[in-house]
Amino acid sequence: MLTVKTPDQVLAILEETFPAKTGEETVPLEKALGRVLSRDIAAGEHIPGFHRSTVDGYALRGADTFGCSAAIPAILPLAGEVVMGRAAPGPLAPGSCVAVPTGGMVPAGADAVVMLEQVEDYSDGTVGVCAPVAPGMNMIFRGDDVTPGRLVLPSGRRLQPQDLGALAALGACRVPVRKRPVAGILSTGDELVPAGEAPGPGQVRDVNSVLLGAVAEEAGGDCRLYGIIPDREEALARAIDTALGECDLVMVSGGSSVGTRDIVCRVLEDRGRVLLHGIAMKPGKPTILGEVAGKAVLGLPGNPVAAFFTAWLFGRFLVSRMMGRRARRYTIPARLAESVEANHGRSLYSGATLVREGEEWLARPIRGKSGLITTLAATNGFFHVPRDCEGLPKGARVEVSLYTVEQEE
């Protein structure tokens, strides 16, 4: 007989039952944002490939400026000028200088750059340096960023804009990434109509299809929507079979409450096994987890708020795990602006709006009837109250998990 599991037990079951997926593909650099690297990326060359100036000024030997000042400038002949995008003139002779722009190549023989503002041009082929510069000042040296063989980006990293910049600097035009797991999304219910239609009496728009698909995509996966499935076992069985044949995991919303509409369990039992039916959490207690031919099937509540929390906690965990990553939460410590009632043996997950008050954040729990998705849309994140807690008083400290794209651990 299946027993109700805690959220932590559910995560342990997911980790034990469904191994990481390691499929790989290469994508163009400009399409790699948000993808997960499948290999370590090491530098194959020095970056930068030459000594560069960080200021507009004059490249010279630092020793030629020692002891100079505005009253007694170091007089140096101007030996030439560096042009952007071209090699610097030949080796710099001792006691001379060349004009160099920001980012320009510093010639061999020079070991410092003096800023333009600290130099007086006498217009006779010489300049006066009015402040000393030490060797290395106002320069980036060859290989200061990376040297050949150095690890730049590790396998398993979810690529961010700055990572794409680093890859461009390395000349990586195509990037090896892990294939995105595809989540098949099914909404069940005779009362549902597509989001673009006006609901009639007793009908509601299908919220969960786009909601669950967005959770999967934000976690780094792809989604495939299978539309609204009638509350008939044959129709649901066909839809699940199709989704399992085309996707890496399936999320079904609706049909997971104990009762006459409880057909998801029967469909899963006919094709694989049911790993759990019920989680000790609020919202989301009637969640189902099944396994068919090595693929996960999550049966989520039809209540959009409950579906969101269970998908956010467990669906995104699966998507991340299939790419060899572990989903991570970003949290902000806050104090409760209002008291929170007891959970009656279930872990409570409540959306919260964060408000700055002095040096602290206040978390205002959402107050509204079950299933009102617009109340959740007004929140910044959520906090968790343990199942063995009798409730939390106003002013209690909580960790608010933010709704944001997670980074790798």
* Structural element, H or E, at residue 348: strand 347-357
Q: How do residues 20-68 score in pLDDT, each as one tens digit?
A: 876 899 999 999 999 999 999 999 999 999 999 999 999 999 999 999 9
Question: 331-402: which CATH number, 2.40.340.10, 3.40.50.2300, 2.60.40.3080, 3.40.50.10190?
Answer: 2.40.340.10
Provide the residue type at 166 as one letter: A
Answer for the pair 366, 378: CB distance below 8 angstroms, yes or no.
Answer: yes
CA gap 106, 144 in Å, rounded? 14
> With a threshold of 0.85, does the pTM exceed it?
no
Q: Decide: 288 and 311 in contact? Cβ < 8 Å.
A: no
Q: Say what percent of the chain tops pLDDT 70.
A: 95
- Quick one: fold of 25-40+154-178? Molybdopterin biosynthesis moea protein, domain 2 (3.90.105)
Whether CATH 3.90.1150.10 fits 7-23+179-322: no
Q: What is the pLDDT of residues 317-347, one digit of tens each?
A: 999 999 988 877 889 999 999 999 877 789 9
Domain range list for the chain: 7-23+179-322, 25-40+154-178, 52-140, 331-402
Residues of the chain with pLDDT under 50: 256-261, 405-409
259-to-131, 254, 255, 256, 308 alpha-carbon distances in Å: 85, 12, 9, 9, 22
CATH topology of domain 52-140: Molybdopterin biosynthesis moeA protein; domain 3 (2.170.190)
